[in-house]
Amino acid sequence: MNYVHEYSQILESKREQITAWMTKKRSEVPIPIYGSVDVRDAGWKVAVVDANHFPAGFNNVSKEDEPHLAELLKNHILRIKSECKWVHLYPESHTRNAGYIENVATIQSLLIRSGFRCTVGSPELSAHGSLAGISGPLHLSRVELKLENGIEELFVEGERPCLILLNNDLTEGIVPGLSANNVSPPPSMGWHRRRKSEHYVCLQKYVDEMAQLLEIDSWHLMANWFVSENKCLDEENCRVALAKEVDEFIENIRAKYESLGIEREPVVFVKNDRGTYGLGIMAVKEGKELLELSNRKMKKLMYSKGGADVENFLIQEGVPTLLTEKGGAPVEPVVYLVDGEAASWFYRINDKKGDMDNLNSPSAEFFDSSEVGHLYGEHAKGWHALVAELSMLAMGSEAIKYANESSNQ
């Protein structure tokens, strides 16, 4: 069997070439101000299985990494808005989610450390005054919409900030006041429009190029996938069609496993092609499982944040994790990136789940890289960083596509 980690010497020997390649590719796309990715490391494959353009969870990263994160934020913001003094952070409306509120507080702290004035709030949250985080209350500024030259714009305490930093995934659509050119990430990357599959379309070309540079099979750096469109799972003919597609996909994975000597039964994840928070996800070993769905499981699979309808499903190769902790509990690295650079890690550990399961559940625990990261070695961290940074290039490529679509409407 070919293990990715067996190629680590090649990865390090080509470090200068990789850096030059990354520099060139980053010059060709708008690099996201920040992002996070879930990485699965099976030994034979290291792959990004979920990519977030509006990351939550900054409160889980190592305190030791905060100075570097702050410096990267400063560099990015001043590159796109050289006169920026004031950044306004526009969050989700999770008024009861103390973990998310702590995430927002951490981002605010990083921006203040970067030298910017940083306020927090949205018109929807203006009546609250403050929100209860884990470490204490998060102060909210008064935010309102005003019509300026025929365009609705956001005003914070009666003034316009230099830059609005979105930490809201816009599942339910672009909110008023966020169409101006002083918003990052671009609202067009919200889940009202973005598709997970589009990320993998963009990612594939970068993975293929990197694999060619490293002289390895690109299969080792990306999970296989396809999209099943217009599947109304509440109708039997739709379930039958999806089950057939899933079976054909699993057979292809099984053939690849056999060719590499991987003694493993393939599993695939059926996911809502848009949305976050681990909603609308199901693992299956054969298409028949989709034909036998209970009403409860069907509703769970078709549920998405904000109640948005599930139109298409991303069918993705399941990548088990060989990383374990706490007596065998499976571990999933979550990489946090700023300005395209893998800058911090935390590790999602879930002793209630197996090595192929979705670990993003209430039973998950989080440990930063200073606590457990050393257990997985610098070689593993190098591969995790590589696939994460390729994912940020793909996000930049996505942003161009969605911007072009918007301009043509």
For residue range 361-372, list pLDDT tens digits in order: 889 999 988 888
With beta carbons less than 8 A apart as the criterion, state whether 306 and 22 touch.
no
Kindly report which listed range (131-135, 199-203, 272-276) carries the lowest average pLDDT score: 272-276
For residue range 259-318, list pLDDT tens digits in order: 999 999 999 998 888 765 545 678 899 999 988 877 777 766 765 555 445 568 899 999
Question: Checking phi first, is residue 388 left (phi over 0); if not, alpha (psi -120 to 50) or beta?
Answer: alpha
For the chain, what are the domain ranges? 4-54+194-400, 58-189
Round the average pLDDT of the chain to a whole number and report it: 89
With beta carbons less than 8 A apart as the criterion, state whether 386 and 47 touch.
no
Question: 3-state DSSP call for residue 179?
Answer: coil
pTM for this predicted structure: 0.92
Contacts of residue 127, Cβ cutoff 8 Å, sequence gap at least 6: none
pLDDT of residue 110: 98
pLDDT of residue 409: 55
Which of 36, 40, 97, 51 has the alpha carbon at shortest distance from 358? 40
Most confident of 277-281, 347-351, 373-377: 347-351
CATH superfamily name and code, 58-189: Glutamate-cysteine ligase, N-terminal domain (3.40.50.11280)
Find tokens 């990489």 and name the residue: 335
The fraction of the chain above a pLDDT of 90, given in percent, is 66
pLDDT of residue 190: 86
For residue range 47-86, list pLDDT tens digits in order: 999 999 999 999 999 999 999 999 999 999 999 999 999 9
For residue range 25-39, list pLDDT tens digits in order: 999 999 999 999 999
